[in-house]
Amino acid sequence: MRKNPSTSQTVLRVALAGNPNSGKTTLFNALTGTQQRVGNYPGVTVEKVEGTCRRSFSEIRFIDLPGTYNLSSCLPEEEVARAYLFEETPEVIVNVVDAANLERNLYLTLRLLEMGIPLVIALNMSDKAETQGMKVDSEELSRRLGGVPVVKTIASQSVGKEELLKAVELASKKGTLGFVLNYGAEVEPVLTELSREMEASHPEMKPVLRRWLLLNLLEGDSQAQKWLGNAEVVKRSASVSAELERQAGRNVGELLAEQRYRAILETCKSVIHSREVHESWTSRLDGILTSRRWGLPIFLVLMYLVFTVTFTLGEPIMGWIENGFGWLGDFISSFWPEGAESPFKSLLLDGVLAGVGGVLVFLPNIVLLFLAISILEDTGYMARAACLLDNVMSRFGLHGKSFIPLLIGFGCTVPAVISTRIIENKADRFVTIMVLPLFSCGARLPIYALIIPAFFPEGWHAPVLWLVYCIGIVLAVVVAKVLGLSLFKGKGSPFVMELPAYQRPTVFSLLMTIWHRSWLYLKKAGTVILMTSVLLWAAGQWPGLKAEQKAVFEERIAAAEASGLEEEVLEEKLAGIENERSMASLEASLVGRVGKLLEPVLRPCGFDWRITTALLPGLAAKELVVTQLGIVFALGETDEGSDTLRKKLRENYTPVQAFCIMLFCLMSAPCLATVAVVKQECGGWRWAFGQLVGLTLLAWCSATIVFQIGSRIVF
């Protein structure tokens, strides 16, 4: 235990552990309320959530461990949970057990008890177990597990909360109960012998923890070998393990698991009292939602609703945010005389404000997206949908749950990347993230809307747009398959998923989930996007025009104003001069110089320096490519509906070049917000930059092939 220096209260650290879908997170929310903070465990992308519950004489700090079925090293979640329990050693573990699935949940319970840390069992969802004809004798369960406290809870209704907190405080004072599972005549003598050898080198280690480490060593656990740090004992354990396997005729891990399941079955026979029940409405509903006939249509309708909620309802809110930033920009501009140019003003408006706006404008989509996904997950439907789609997705090297992020990717890649958190396995999640930018997001649509009408007859508009989207989907499937056979070969998990009971989501749990995801996005992605936006602004401003060049434009403006032209004609002439100055300024800037420097590299794709320069701001946001094209052609700010810009493009480029521009924008480096979120979700810049470089190379190769072949066939 520790002391909180600000309150002088005792700080009790309690780890919340349990199987996925056991109601652990719902119980965590009920216990801690809004006193929560979210981050990642050091070095991994697994989310770490902590919360505080203040009592009269103590402060209980809950750590919500990732949901796991075991404490092995097979999955990142299991590694994180086990490492925290061994290295941090909380004062108490609260093991959340689903009363309706006691047999499966007790495997983790036994593994936790063997660690020797004081344990309290929260027997959750007892009401649902009873509706299924099962009644669990909590007193007998406690006796069978060596006297461990068992508290019945209904997390969604905060039932049993106070009793659980009292049991936690009491368990922290009593300490460990020393539960020991007998592994039979084959294993116990070996454990006793090895324990004596360990005691000589680690006399400070508790006997219970020594036994737990030895069990892991016998199973060949590499992390346990590192924790022990005794090469002699590790070597001896490997030798004993090999001998055990020879005698038993099977793997030691299987031998130990068999003994655990035998103990679990005996316990369940004693504590579960069943009665006959008729087929539940859950089974009947599963028969519809997972059926071949109705399952897919129902899923597509629900996904349509998710799209509607995320993008249709989010669009007006995004508009309000954009209008708010527009008003703020006008307010900041009012501090300078009209028409006055100032580097500081440009920094605030085009750097800081544009960067912050670029972060916040996605927030409505993220909030609404996670509201929809949380409802689908909490009701239990998401697991059914994943099972339904896995047969199709697995053929393309993707997980069943990948379908939802990929579908969302057509709207916006940022929330799509964040939504990959529903995929538990790290390899499957990373493959999905890597191919997501190939699903053409809404930000690319202005580019297509500008180019397609400019170069293709009206009857071809829809087919060409459809072709661009299809190319992205096909490439995503091919890249996913290649990644699955190379970088992630053998790392994907077989599709095994529990179908949780249907339940009603709690408003509080939904709100906490939305808050956590939104705050993580703002905190992590926002800082990176803001910093890079300022750097891009500086690259577009510096070094700028020389003094003599500026003087030439000033003279032209003065001459136009003194020419006595009509007001309408004068405004048009001045606008033309300003557009030329913007183009010259861009050409003289770092962005323009980089564009010219990269021209030889992109010339095989059919791009000149103007197209190259226009593509660079696409790093910040893809839709900026259209605006930048207007600037490089001295047309000022333009949008996808500009006939003048379309005419300029037709005069300078061919339809093949235009198609290559769309291909390059489809496949090349994703926008800045996506890069930042990929870095956040993958736990480092290595994956974010790898994706950026890989997709850009793919875009260059594809555009080059199409241009070199197409230009010879068409022209």
pLDDT digits (tens, 9 = 90+) for 379-409: 777 777 767 766 666 777 777 677 778 877 7
Per-residue model confidence as pLDDT tens digits over 128-174: 777 777 888 989 999 999 889 999 998 878 888 899 999 998 888 88
Extract the tokens encoding 323: 């209008």
Query: Would residue 150 count as lying in a domain?
Result: yes
Q: What is the pLDDT of residues 300-315, one digit of tens each?
A: 777 777 767 766 777 7
Judged by DSSP in three states, 575 sits in helix
199 with 137, same domain: the answer is no
Q: Is the pLDDT of residue 91 over 50?
A: yes
Tell me: pLDDT of 617 over 80.
no
Least confident of 185-194, 220-229, 666-675: 220-229
pLDDT value of position 44: 44
DSSP β-bridge partners for residue 273:
135
- Same domain membership, residue 250 and residue 157: no
Residue 701: the pLDDT is: 93
The structure tokens listed for 51 are 């919360």
Position 699 scores a pLDDT of 92
Domain end, chosen from 253, 274, 295, is at: 274
pLDDT tens by residue, 286-302: 777 777 778 778 877 77
Domain boundary among 126, 148, 174: 174
Q: Nearest CA to 702 among 670, 650, 673, 659? A: 659
pLDDT in tens, 554-603: 777 777 777 777 777 777 777 676 667 766 776 677 777 777 788 889 88
Please give the pLDDT value at position 278.
47
- Provide mean pLDDT across the span 259-277: 83
Residue 700 confidence (pLDDT) above 90: yes
CA 520 to CA 157: how far, in whole Å? 27
Per-residue model confidence as pLDDT tens digits over 640-664 = 556 777 887 888 889 999 999 999 9
| β-bridge pairing 134-136 and 150-153 | unpaired
Q: Of the candidates 484, 477, 442, which has an alpha carbon nearest to the alpha carbon of residue 671? A: 442
Has residue 349 been placed in a domain?
A: no
Residue-level pLDDT at 39? 46
211 in the same domain as 109: no
Statement to judge: residues 170 and 198 lie in one domain: no
Q: What is the per-residue pLDDT across 337-364, written as a single tens digit (0 to 9) for each?
A: 766 666 676 667 666 776 666 567 667 7
* Per-residue pLDDT at 34: 60
Residues 525 and 663 in one domain: yes
In this predicted model, what pLDDT tens digit does every residue of 413-468 receive, in sequence order? 877 887 787 776 778 888 889 999 998 876 787 788 788 888 888 888 888 888 88
Strand partners, 61: 13, 52
Structure confidence at residue 579 (pLDDT): 65
* CATH number of the domain that residue 193 is part of: 1.10.287
The pLDDT score that the predictor gives to residue 121 is: 93
Does residue 372 lie within any of the structural domains? no
Residue 302, in any domain of the structure: no
- Asked whether residue 362 is assigned to any structural domain, the reply reads no
- Position of tokens 């199973």? 219
- C-alpha 125/C-alpha 164 separation (Å) is 14
Contacts of 688 (CB under 8 A, 6+ apart): 675, 676, 678, 679, 682
Domain shared by 138 and 67, yes or no: yes
Q: Tell me the mean pLDDT in the region 498-527.
A: 68
CA within 13 Å, CB half, 633: 23
- In this prediction, residue 705 carries a pLDDT of 93
What digits encode the pLDDT tens for the residues 360-377?
766 776 677 678 777 877
Report the SS3 class of residue 11.
strand
Is there a single domain that holds both residue 15 and residue 97? Answer: yes
User: Is the same domain home to 614 and 679?
Assistant: yes
Tell me, yes or no, whether 336 lies in a domain. no
Instruction: Provide the 10 A C-beta neighbour count for residue 489.
Output: 10
553 located within any domain: yes
Q: What is the pTM of this model?
A: 0.60
Same domain, 122 and 18: yes
Q: What is the token pair recorded at 174?
A: 């009593």
Q: pLDDT band at 411, cuts 50/70/90?
A: low
Mean pLDDT of 60-76: 80
pLDDT at 48: 66
In angstroms, the Cα distances linking 14 to 33, 62, 92, 170 are 15, 5, 5, 12
Q: What's the number of domains the chain is made of?
A: 3
- β-strands 150-153, 119-124: how paired? parallel
Indicate if 215 and 193 belong to the same structural domain: yes
Contact between 116 and 277 under an 8 Å Cβ cutoff? The reply is no
Partner residues linked to 97 by β-bridges: 123
Alpha-carbon distances of 528 from 45, 489, 531, 533, 679, rounded to whole Å: 17, 32, 5, 9, 10
Contact in structure between 249 and 80 (CB atoms under 8 Å): no
On the question of pLDDT at 527 being above 70, the answer is no
Do 157 and 194 reside in the same domain of the chain?
no
Claim to verify: residue 555 and residue 621 sit in the same structural domain = yes
Indicate the pairing of strand 119-124 with strand 58-64. Answer: unpaired
Residue range 82-97: mean pLDDT, rounded: 89
Any domain includes 368: no
Do the strands 134-136 and 47-54 form a parallel or antiparallel pair, or are they unpaired?
unpaired
| Among 228-237, 442-451, 500-509, 633-642, the least confident range | 633-642
Closest CA to 533 of 677, 350, 355: 355
Better-predicted residue by pLDDT, 640 or 51: 51
Say what the pLDDT of residue 212 is.
84
What does the chain come to in residues?
715
**Both tokens of residue 324?**
């708010």
For 63, phi then psi, to 5°, come to -115, 115
Residue 121 — left, alpha, or beta (φ > 0 → left; ψ -120 to 50 → alpha)? beta
If one compares 84 and 519, the residue with the highest pLDDT of the two is 84
Is the confidence at residue 280, as pLDDT, over 70?
Answer: no
**Final residue of a domain: which of 257, 274, 291?**
274
- Helix ranges (H only) for 443-566 are 445-455, 461-485, 507-520, 526-541, 547-561
3-state secondary structure of 195: helix
Nearest CA-CA partner of 160 in 113, 115, 120: 120
Q: Which residue has the higher pLDDT, 345 or 515?
A: 515
Q: Which residue has the higher pLDDT, 519 or 435?
A: 435
d(CA 581, CA 325): 26
Q: Which two tokens stand for residue 451?
A: 């180019």
Which residue range(s) make up the domain with 83? Answer: 2-174
Average pLDDT of the residues of the chain: 78
> For residues 656 and 81, what is the distance between their CA atoms, to the nearest angstrom?
54
pLDDT the model gives residue 41? 39
Q: Determine the pLDDT at residue 282.
A: 65
